[in-house]
Amino acid sequence: MSVATKLKSSPTTVTEPRAILGPTGNRVRVSDEPKRKPEALKKPQRLKFPVSKSPQSVVQSNVSVDSSCSSDSSSSNSSVKTVSSRKTVKRIGVKPVKAKVAPTADEVVAEPSPVLSEPLKRCDWITSFSDPLYTSLHDKEWGVPVHDDWKLFELLVFSQALAELSWSTILNKRDIFRKLFDNFDPSSVAQFTEKKLLSLKVNGSLLLSEPKLRAVVENAKQMLKVQQEFGSFSSYCWGFVNHKPIRNGFRYVRQVPVKTPKAELISKDMMQRGFRCVGPTVVYSFMQVAGIVNDHLVTCFRYQECNANVKKDIKPEIERLTKDVENMRLSC
């Protein structure tokens, strides 16, 4: 046999194809398949080529396998694209999505939530342990402008009594005070005799000392003189502030004074007129409770309420002052 014959017959004696890439991309040799265990056959299958095939056919088969793999991958990619395209369709709004709307009253019947009433914010010296009468004084009287002479006389006596008693004690015995001093009628108290004073000393020994009791009677006499001169004790007191209450607007208790220059001025004038036990501290306490000065803290609910009451009280007072002036002119 010649050498040429041997070279021509060599292509037909190929027993083993070239290595190819499997579906997973791993390089696999066909000759290793018989040596693998049966469990390995469960993995992705590899195509077997007969030995009689030429290398050209093997190349064509490889191309088909590669194309099939690419088709699989393209199909999987297309499926992914389809899913993502569906999501984008929903996002774009081609398929309408029902918006979330709050349920109406007809659809859902909600139970009304209980309204919790917050406690009123008062001045810091009023606490949950304060006497109810003292709290009531703060909420209804303290800082409210007063223009009635009998009421002013009562508040002046209470301000004098603060040197010996507390507000709680005074308010709890308020009815006894009113009974002893004839409802604080200045004209009636001014006529108290020495005998009446002695009876007050016995009956009111638990209330005021003898100097304070005598001061009350003497102050009632001086009030009558002031009424004759100014028309009323109210006109005299409110004249020091131009008939408008002073609004301090303090935020903290430590800012509230015990006395002021205005209180010292009023105290000096009253003592010159014959009033007794009317020092600057007593006078300023009287100004606070009579509403001549509004010393409620700005955080207290009564601060604005007392300011609102000023407009209501000023008009009647002005009308009364006008009438008093006209009566004085007619009498002259």
User: What SS3 class is residue 153?
Assistant: helix
Report how far residue 180's alpha carbon sits from residue 250's, in angstroms, rounded to the nearest whole number: 37
Structure tokens at 81: 């694209």
**Distance in Å from the first CA to the final CA of the chain:** 171
Return phi, psi of residue 103, to 5°: -65, 140
User: What SS3 class is residue 246?
Assistant: strand
Report how far residue 146's alpha carbon sits from residue 267's, in angstroms, rounded to the nearest whole number: 19
Report how far residue 283's alpha carbon sits from residue 267's, in angstroms, rounded to the nearest whole number: 6
Tell me whether residue 296 is annotated as binding: yes
Tell me whether residue 300 is annotated as binding: yes
Distances (CA, A) of 297 to 282, 289, 300: 20, 14, 5
Q: Binding site: what residues are annotated? A: 123, 138, 296, 300
Q: Binding site for Zn(2+): what residues are annotated? A: 123, 138, 296, 300
